[in-house]
Chain A
Amino acid sequence: MKLTLHIWRQRSTSEKGRMVSYEMADANEHMSFLEMLDVLNEQLIGRGDDPVAFDHDCREGICGSCGFMINGIAHGPRSGTTICQLHMRHFKNGDELWLEPWRATAFPIVKDLAVNRSAFDRIIQAGGYITTPTGNAIDGNAIAIPKEDSERAMDAAACIGCGACVAACPNASASLFTGAKISHLGLLPQGQPERNGRALRMVQIAQEETFGNCTNIGECEAVCPKNISLEVIARMNRDFLRGSFLWRSGSGGDGG
C-alpha cells in the first residue's frame, strides 16, 4: 500500500511550522495508523532525518494520549475511534493524507503533531474532584444510585481527555470535555456537595485557558472517540446557570 503523507513539521513551540510531504511505500492494511507512522519514522531515522513526533501511550484507545487531524477530521475518518485504533485497512492504495496537530491557543504545539494539553489538567484541578473520607473503602452499595443515573455518569466518564473536541470545534471550545467532567460527577450523589462551585470554577478556568465558547454546532460530538453526547454541554450550561444563582461564598462545600 502506497500513501502520500503531508505532515505538519514544527521543531518547537516558538518556531514556525510547515507541511512536509513524504512518500510512504511500505504501509499495509494490518498496521494501525501509528504503526504506519512508526515505520515512516524508522525510515526517517535511517536517512538521518528527524522522526515525526506524535503523542501515544496505551495504543488501545483508552488513555487519551494520541490524536491529530487526518484530512481535517480529528482522529481520522472512523467515528468513535482513536487514531491508535484506526487501521490502515480503512484507507486505499494511493491515498493522499494531511496530518496536522490539534490547533488551539490553549494547546501549544510542542513538536510536529504533539501538543501540550496541560490546560485540560488545570480545568480538572479547578473542580474535577469530590470530597470523600479516606480510610477503608466504603461498601459499594451503601449509597443507592438509580441505574439510569449511574449509566449516564459512566457514559460521561468515558471521556479520555484526548482534546479532539477542541480540535474539531471552529471556536476551539472545551465545552464537550468540561461538560463531560461536570456531568460525570454531577450525576452521582458523591458529586453533589461541590456541584455549584464546580460548574462555576471549571467554566471560568476553561475560559482563562483561552478555550472558545460553544455555538452548539456539534462537530465535537461527531469526532469524539468515546461518543460523548452534546447533552453534557446542556447539563454544564444548566449547572453553570444554577450555580450562578445558588452558589454562596464561604460555604466551603459550595452547596446551594
Chain B
Amino acid sequence: MSNQIFMATSINTAGKSAGNSIRRDLSFYDATIGKKAVMAATGVILFGFVLVHLVGNLQIFLPPDAKGIFKIDEYGKFLHSMPAVLWGARSVLIAAVMLHIWSSISLARMQRRARPTAYVKKNNAHSTYASRTMMLSGPIVACFIMYHLLHFTGGQVHPNYIETAVHHNVIRGLQEWPAAIFYIVAIMLLGTHLYHGLWSMLQSLGVSHPSYTPMLKASAKVFAFLIVVGNISIPISILLGIVK
C-alpha cells in the first residue's frame, strides 16, 4: 500500500474521494484480516485431514483377519487404488499447508514491526500458553510432518521400510524409542496448536455470539484433547508392546 493511498484516505474524510482510495485487490490478502481468513480456511482443511487421518490410523489396533491380513494394510491398498483421489487430496493439503505457513510468516513479520522494543516487564496472565506459542508449536509440527512423511510415506528414514506393509512399517518404526518420543512430543504440540486454533479460526472468520461462543470454545478443547489421546495411544501402545 503506497503512502499516497494513505494520505488520500486520512485527509479526505468526506466520503467520496476517501472511498475511491480502496482497492479491492489490495484490501483482501494484503490486509491482516484477509490473511487470517486464509489461515482459518486452510486450518479447517488441515484439521479435517488430521481427524480423518486419526480415524484411519486407529485401525492399527484391529486384529488381522483369517488370512492374516491386517485391516490397516487393506486400508492403505484401498487409498492407493484411487491415485486420482489420493493425489487430488495431497495437492489440496500441500496447497493448504503452504498458504497456512506463508500467511503466518507474513503476519509474524508485521507483528515484529509493530513492537520492536520489548517491555522491561510484561504480564500475560490472561491468555493461554497455547495461544501465545502458536509460532513455536506450528513450525515444530511442520518439521515433524516432514519427518513423518520420510518415515512412513517415503520410508527414507525408516529402519526397515516395506512398501504397502503399513502395519509392519508402523510397528517397526515406532519400536525405536527416540522416534516414538518425537511422535509423542509433536502430537502434544499439535494438540496445543489446535487447542487455540480450533476456536481462533472461527473468531477470525467473524463467528462469535454470546449464545454459542462458550460452546464452541469448549468443543475446540475437547477436539484438541481427543486428537492428542487418539494419536498418542499408537506410539505408547507400541512402545509398551501392547500392539505387535
Contacts and interface: CB of A to CB of B under 8 A. Distances in A.
B81 interface: no
A105 B115 contact: yes
Contacts of B35: 213
A89 interface: no
Interface stretch (B162-170, B176-184, B205-213): B205-213
B200 A216 contact: yes
A117 to B, nearest CB: 15
A169 B17 CA distance: 33
Contact of B9 (A205, A235, A244): A205
A125 interface: yes
A73 B131 CA distance: 18
Contact of B117 (A103, A106, A207): A103
Contact of B31 (A122, A207, A254): A207
A170 B132 contact: yes
Given A218-B126, A234-B208, A237-B204, A213 B13 contact: no
Contacts of B107: 212-213
Interface string A230-256: 110111111111011001011111100
B205 A237 contact: yes
B22 A105 contact: no
A172 B115 contact: yes
A205 B6 contact: yes
A241 B41 CA distance: 13
Interface in B113-137: 113-128, 131-132, 134
A200 B22 contact: yes
B203 A216 contact: yes
Nearest to B134: A215
Given A172-B111, A172-B115, A214-B32, A100 B121 contact: yes
Contacts of B10: 122, 125-126, 205
A239 B26 CA distance: 16
Nearest to B29: A244
Interface string A195-237: 0010011011101101111111111011100000011011111
Nearest to B106: A213
A82 to B, nearest CB: 17
B6 to A, nearest CB: 5
A173 interface: yes
Given A131-B15, A171-B114, A126 B120 contact: no
B123 A71 contact: yes
A218 B129 CA distance: 12
A244 B111 CA distance: 23
B34 interface: yes
B5 to A, nearest CB: 8
B208 A69 contact: no
A243 to B, nearest CB: 8
Nearest to B26: A204
Given A170-B111, A201-B9, A203-B33, A126 B127 contact: no
Interface of B: 1, 5-6, 9-11, 13, 15-16, 18-22, 24, 26-28, 30-37, 107, 110-111, 113-128, 131-132, 134, 196, 199-200, 203-210, 213
29 contacts: A19-B120, A69-B122, A71-B123, A98-B120, A103-B115, A105-B116, A122-B10, A126-B10, A170-B111, A172-B114, A200-B22, A200-B31, A203-B31, A204-B27, A207-B30, A208-B6, A212-B107, A212-B115, A213-B107, A216-B199, A216-B204, A217-B127, A217-B128, A217-B131, A221-B126, A237-B36, A243-B27, A244-B27, A249-B19
Given A104-B115, A207-B30, 13 more contacts: A106-B114, A125-B13, A171-B114, A205-B6, A212-B113, A216-B196, A217-B132, A230-B208, A234-B207, A236-B33, A243-B27, A244-B34, A249-B19
Interface of A: 6, 8, 19, 69, 71-73, 98, 100, 103-106, 122, 125-126, 129, 131, 170-173, 194, 197, 200-201, 203-205, 207-208, 210-219, 221-223, 230-231, 233-241, 243-244, 247, 249-254
